[in-house]
C-alpha cells in the first residue's frame, strides 16, 4: 500500500511539473514582455509549492495549484483564432476553391514575382483547373537548416497547364517573428497558399536559396483527384473558419498526413504512424517504406536525384517551361 501511495504521488508530482512547464510557456509567449516572464515565474512558484505539498501533507497547496491551473486552461481555451489581423503581404489572402462539375475555380491564387525574400511584386489571380486533367502528385521538401526538418509542398500536375501547388504556412502578422516554441501556444493562425510552382518553389529555390528536393509519388490520376478534392474541402473550411497553427499537431506535414489519410481507405491503403511524419526532413525514407516513391533505387541515390535546387536556380521563373525543366532527371514511378 505504501509503495502504491508513493507511486501515485510521483505521478501527481510529474503531472504538476509538466502542467507548470506548459503553463509557464503559455504565459511567456502569450503575455507581453516582462508581464509574461513575471507571470511564468509566479506560476512556477505555485507549481513547486503544489508539488511540495503532495509530500508534506499540506493538501491545500496542490488543490490551490489545481484551481489556478484550471483557471489558466479556461483562459487558454478562450483564445480564438481570427482572419482579421494585419497579415504580412504574402499571407494577406486565403484561397478559396469553387467546384462546378470537373472545373475548379481557385480564387486568391498567389503568383508573386520573387526577386528576394523581401523584394517581390504582389499578384493575386483567379485560375481554373480541370479535374479530369490532373495527372498525379509531386512532393517538394525544402531544407533550410539540417536534415531533420523541411517544409512540405504538395503539387498537382495537369495535362493542359502548369501544376497547382499547395503550402501550409504559419500566418504571421506584420512585425511578428516565427518561433517553433511559440507555435505550441496558440500564437499563430494557419494559412493555405495555393500557387503555381514558380511562386512557391521559386521562393525557396531562388529567393531563399534553400535545398529543394522533388519526389514523384506513385498514385493514379484518380487517387490524385481524391487528394486534390480533400484539399479543396479543407481550403474552403479554413477560408470560412480560422484555425490555430500548432508546431506539433497542425503543421505542413501533419495536415497533409490527415488529408491523405481521409481518402486512403477508399484505395485500401494505410498510412502507418511514424516519427518521420513529424521529423519531416526524413519523409523520403517513410515514403519509400510505404511504396509511395521508387523502392528500386537506394534511398541516398533517390535523394541525390531529387535535389532540384541548383537546377531550378539556373532557370528563370518567367520561363513557361519552369515546371517541366525542374522535373528533368527526377525518378518517376507508376502505381
Average pLDDT, the chain: 94
Residues 165, 256 contacting (CB under 8 angstroms) = no
Contact 246, 183 (CB under 8 A): yes
What pLDDT does 3 receive? 83
**Is residue 84 situated within a structural domain?**
no
pLDDT band for 18, please (50, 70, 90 cuts): very high
Is this structure's pTM higher than 0.85?
Answer: yes
> Domain for residue 232, yes or no?
yes
Across residues 304-333, what is the average pLDDT? 95
State how far the alpha carbon of 225 is from the alpha carbons of 137, 163, 288, in Å.
Answer: 9, 13, 22
Range 115-118 contact pairs with CB under 8 angstroms and sequence separation of 24 or more = 115/207, 116/207, 117/203, 117/207, 117/208
pLDDT surpassing 90 at residue 264 = no
At residue 1, the pLDDT reads 66
Residue 288, pLDDT above cutoff 80: yes
Could you write out the DSSP letters of every residue in 263-285? HGGGGT------GGGTSGGGHHH
Question: Which residue, 19, 16, 15, is CA-closest to 76?
Answer: 19
Kindly provide the b/e burial profile for residues 177-198, where b requires at least 16 CB atoms within 10 angstroms of the residue's own CB: eeeeebbbbbbbbbbbbbbbbb
Higher pLDDT, 59 or 239: 239
Helix 60-77 with 2-30: angle, nearest 10 deg:
40
> What is the average per-residue pLDDT within 261-285?
88
**Is the domain of 158 the same as that of 18?**
no
What is the pLDDT confidence band of residue 335, given thresholds at 50, 70 and 90?
A: low
Q: Does one domain contain both 22 and 112?
A: no
Residue 203 CB contacts under 8 Å (≥ 6 apart), including other chains? 112, 114, 117
| Domain match, 221 and 175 both | yes
Predicted local confidence at residue 283, as pLDDT? 95
Asked whether the predicted pLDDT for residue 268 surpasses 80, the reply is no
- Structure confidence at residue 17 as a pLDDT band (50, 70, 90): very high
Please give the Cα distance from 323 to 92 (Å, whole number). 26
pLDDT for position 41 = 94
pLDDT score for 66: 92
Q: Do the strands 120-121 and 164-171 form a parallel or antiparallel pair, or are they unpaired?
A: unpaired
pLDDT of residue 270: 78
Contacts of 105 (CB under 8 A, 6+ apart): 97, 98, 99, 126, 127, 128
What is the pLDDT, as a whole number, of residue 176? 94
The reported pLDDT for the residue numbered 234 is 98
Structure confidence at residue 334 as a pLDDT band (50, 70, 90): low
- Over residues 129-138, the mean pLDDT reads 97
Please name which of 334, 315, 310 lies closest in space to residue 325, comparing C-alpha atoms.
315
pLDDT, average across residues 301-305: 96
pLDDT of residue 54: 86
Inter-residue contact 61 to 168 (CB < 8 Å): no
Number of domains the chain contains: 2
Q: Which domain holds residue 179?
A: 89-326
- Residues 73 and 93 occupy one common structural domain: no
If one compares 269 and 41, the residue with the highest pLDDT of the two is 41
Domain's final residue, options 31, 54, 77:
77
Answer yes or no: do 32 and 135 share one domain: no
Answer yes or no: do 201 and 314 share one domain: yes
333 within domain boundaries: no
The enclosing H or E element of 233 equals helix 221-240
Q: Find the distance separating the first CA and the last CA of the chain, reported in whole Å.
A: 59
The pLDDT value given to residue 57: 80
Distance of alpha carbon 265 from alpha carbon 20, whole angstroms: 40
Amino acid at each position: 500500500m505504501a509503495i502504491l501511495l508513493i507511486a501515485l504521488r510521483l505521478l501527481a508530482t510529474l503531472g504538476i511539473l509538466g502542467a507548470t512547464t506548459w503553463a509557464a510557456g503559455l504565459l511567456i509567449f502569450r503575455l507581453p514582455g516582462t508581464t509574461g516572464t513575471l507571470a511564468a515565474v509566479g506560476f512556477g512558484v505555485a507549481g513547486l509549492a503544489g508539488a511540495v505539498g503532495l509530500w508534506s501533507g499540506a493538501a491545500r497547496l496542490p488543490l490551490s495549484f489545481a484551481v489556478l491551473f484550471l483557471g489558466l486552461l479556461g483562459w487558454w481555451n478562450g483564445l480564438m483564432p481570427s482572419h482579421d489581423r494585419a497579415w504580412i503581404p504574402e499571407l494577406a489572402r486565403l484561397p478559396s476553391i469553387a467546384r462546378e462539375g470537373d472545373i475548379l475555380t481557385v480564387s486568391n491564387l498567389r503568383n508573386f514575382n520573387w526577386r528576394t525574400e523581401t523584394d517581390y511584386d504582389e499578384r493575386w489571380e483567379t485560375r481554373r483547373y480541370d479535374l479530369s486533367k490532373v495527372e498525379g502528385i509531386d512532393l517538394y521538401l525544402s531544407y533550410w537548416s539540417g536534415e531533420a526538418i523541411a517544409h512540405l509542398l504538395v503539387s498537382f500536375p495537369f495535362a493542359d497547364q502548369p501544376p497547382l501547388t499547395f503550402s501550409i504556412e504559419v500566418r504571421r502578422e506584420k512585425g511578428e517573428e516565427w518561433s517553433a516554441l511559440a507555435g505550441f501556444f496558440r500564437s499563430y493562425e494557419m494559412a493555405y497558399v495555393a500557387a503555381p510552382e514558380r511562386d512557391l518553389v521559386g521562393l525557396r529555390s531562388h529567393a531563399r536559396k534553400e535545398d529543394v528536393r522533388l519526389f514523384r509519388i506513385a498514385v493514379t490520376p484518380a487517387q490524385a483527384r481524391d487528394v486534390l478534392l480533400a484539399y479543396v474541402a479543407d481550403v474552403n473550411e479554413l477560408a470560412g473558419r480560422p484555425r490555430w497553427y500548432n508546431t506539433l499537431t497542425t503543421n505542413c506535414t501533419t495536415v497533409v498526413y490527415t488529408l491523405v489519410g481521409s481518402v486512403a481507405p477508399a484505395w485500401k491503403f494505410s498510412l502507418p504512424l511514424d516519427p518521420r511524419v513529424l521529423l519531416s526532413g526524413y519523409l523520403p525514407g517513410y515514403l519509400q517504406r510505404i511504396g509511395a516513391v521508387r523502392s528500386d533505387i537506394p534511398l541516398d541515390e533517390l535523394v541525390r536525384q531529387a535535389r532540384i535546387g541548383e537546377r531550378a536556380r539556373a532557370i528563370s521563373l518567367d520561363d513557361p517551361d519552369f515546371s517541366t525543366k525542374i522535373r528533368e532527371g527526377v525518378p518517376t514511378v507508376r502505381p
